Amino acid sequence: MTIDRSPSNASTLASADVEHAASFVTRVLGPLAAADEDTYRVATTLAVYLQENRSRARAARRLTVHPNTVSYRVNQAERILGRSIDTDTLELSVALALLPALPRLAHRHATEL
């Protein structure tokens, strides 16, 4: 089974109940849901890394960065999350897929944590 993580499907899901979706995203991602550019870049890298089945090389090609940059950002993501990305991977992937559909709302909830 393939999960479609395209932004249009995430937007559709998020629009069904925006407040609930934003609450889910901030619960799962915590400070990684922040709207600042650096944190968003780390979250985006983590999303691509997981979509590419944890392949640094494929994620780096998609992001047009060096594989070491992918490793660095994934490590940053784990530090920001305060846990390994190996736990609750499905929840993490869903929250990362929803994040682009909810940037302002997700940021508002993140500041309430």
Task: Tell me the two tokens of residue 112.
Answer: 């309430």
Predicted confidence (pLDDT) per residue in 75-85, tens digit: 999 999 999 99
- Each domain of the chain, given as residue ranges in start order, spans 7-111
At residue 84, φ and ψ (nearest 5 deg) are -70, 150
pLDDT at 21: 87
Predicted confidence (pLDDT) per residue in 93-113, tens digit: 999 999 988 855 444 544 444
Q: Which CATH number fits domain 7-111: 3.40.1130, 2.60.40, 1.10.10, 1.10.3470?
A: 1.10.10
Is the pLDDT reported for residue 51 higher than 90? Answer: yes
CA atoms 34, 98, 26, 59: torsion sign: negative
Cα gap 3→110, rounded to integer Å: 26
Contacts of 67 (CB under 8 A, 6+ apart): 56, 57, 59, 60
Q: CA-based angle 113:94:15, to the nearest 5?
A: 80
